[in-house]
Amino acid sequence: MSGTTTPEAGDLAGVRAAVLEGLGKDPRLAGEVAPLVRDFRRLMMTYKFGIDEVMTKITVLRDEFRHIHEYNPIEHAGSRLKSLESILAKARRKGVPLTPEGVRAQMFDIAGVRVTCSFVSDIYRVRDMLVGQRDLTVLEERDYIAHPKGNGYKSLHLIVQVPVFLSDRVEDVVVEIQLRTIAMDFWASLEHKIYYKYEREVPRHLTDALKLAADVAATLDTTMERIHDEVRDLDGGAETGPSGADTLATREAIETFIRTAQVTDEVFHDRRRDG
Ligand code: 0O2
């Protein structure tokens, strides 16, 4: 979720330039652009309100957890509104009509909210709390944790719809919520930077290394959650401390993590050396 901006209220020139760019800079279309610019600005504003609605929900959950419970599943929450330039570029790439209606009907990641959690189980916990809210409708769920992408990408994506109450109407706004662990987020940020640095043509040894790093990140997630569970059980008042099975499971998780990290490091160096 980078390279994105919120259009400023007075930034008409920027919006106009982006729309013209999206229309292929055809000077004959210049006269027709003004109403489109106005419609796009309005569209972007409603997406921003959609983000505000979802962020309020996340903030409420986070603050409530902070005050009432001893543990908070939400580490960090952020948002971004895709820039008009990115929207038009993606619309062109995917053959989406360059109209507010076309964009609204076929692009679901214009408004984005990202929630970072400590553990995988927290992701599903936050998901359940969100989808249980009656004014939030889930249109689609993409579970890239249960089914990671080929490059190693993991996250849980929810495409949701929230009502936004405007002065003269209620508009249902689509927002993409991405839920990740810290390790998944670390991986995705680096992969995203590399992807754009190489303009989508990433050298093979780097895609291989990223795939291996995704495995390490996944085992780190498992190990950290295992350790956390064992300590939580201890805090839960178990007088005898963690059971033998708990301790064994934690030890096995740590050993798996160390093995995965070692193998990954060796494979990465071998592949780099072999070109
Ligand atoms: P940015 O800069 O984050 O906004 P689709 O054609 O609908 O199947 P689409 O539209 O890519 O595919 O949807 P998907 O898979 O849900 O991806 C939407 C967003 O998820 C992306 O937005 C990224 O934020 C994130 N994402 C998905 N796949 C990857 C990946 O392989 N690596 C990383 N780092 N992020 C990913 P944008 O617009 O690509 O980027």
Same domain, 16 and 124: yes
Residue 114 domain flag: yes
Query: What does the pLDDT read at residue 255?
Result: 73
Residue closest via CA to ligand 1's atom 18 equals 109
- The CB of 157 under 6 Å from ligand 1? The reply is yes
Name the domain boundary from 170, 197, 224.
197
Q: Confirm whether 126 is domain-assigned.
A: yes
Within-domain flag for 6: no
Domain check: are 177 and 214 in the same one? Answer: no
62 and 187 assigned to the same domain: yes
Residues 55-61: contacts with CB under 8 Å, at least 24 apart: 55/79, 55/113, 57/130, 57/133, 57/136, 58/113, 58/115, 58/130, 61/126, 61/129, 61/130
Q: What is the CA radius of gyration of the chain?
A: 22
Q: Cβ contacts of residue 68 below 8 Å, gap of 6+?
A: none
Q: Among 182, 197, 212, give the residue marking a domain's end.
A: 197
Tell me: do 208 and 180 sit in the same domain.
no
Give a yes or no: residue 260 inside a domain: yes
Q: Domain range for residue 35?
A: 12-197
Q: Is 143 in the pocket of ligand 1 (CB under 6 A)?
A: no
CB 144 within 8 A of CB 150: no
Q: Which of 84, 114, 99, 82 is nearest to 15 (CA)?
A: 84
Distance CA 77, CA 55 (A): 8
Within a domain: 219: yes
Is residue 21 in contact with ligand 1, taking CB distance under 6 Å? Answer: no
Quote the pLDDT of residue 85: 82
Do both 145 and 97 map to the same domain? yes
Tens-binned pLDDT, residue by residue, of the chain (275 aa):
543 444 443 455 666 666 666 555 555 555 556 677 788 888 999 999 999 999 999 999 999 998 988 789 999 999 999 988 888 889 889 999 888 899 999 999 999 999 999 999 999 999 999 999 999 999 999 999 999 999 999 999 999 999 999 999 999 999 999 999 999 999 999 999 999 899 889 999 899 999 999 999 999 999 999 888 888 776 665 555 667 777 777 777 777 777 777 777 777 777 666 66
In three-state secondary structure terms, 152 is coil
Q: Is 2 in the pocket of ligand 1 (CB under 6 A)?
A: yes
In a domain, 75, yes or no: yes
- The single residue listed with the structure tokens 């229309």 is 23
Whole-prediction pTM: 0.81
Can you give the pLDDT at residue 51? 98
Please tell me whether residues 214 and 174 are part of one structural domain: no
Number of domains in the chain: 2
Residue 82, domain CATH: 3.30.460.10
- Whole-number Å distance between alpha carbons of 227 and 220: 11
Q: Do the domain assignments include residue 269?
A: yes
Q: What is the set of active-site residues?
A: 176
Give pLDDT, residue 238. Answer: 53
Q: 54, 175 in Cβ contact below 8 A?
A: yes
Does a structural domain hold residue 252? Answer: yes
**Boundary-marking domain end, from 163, 181, 197:** 197
Q: Ligand 1 center to residue 170 CA distance, Å?
A: 28
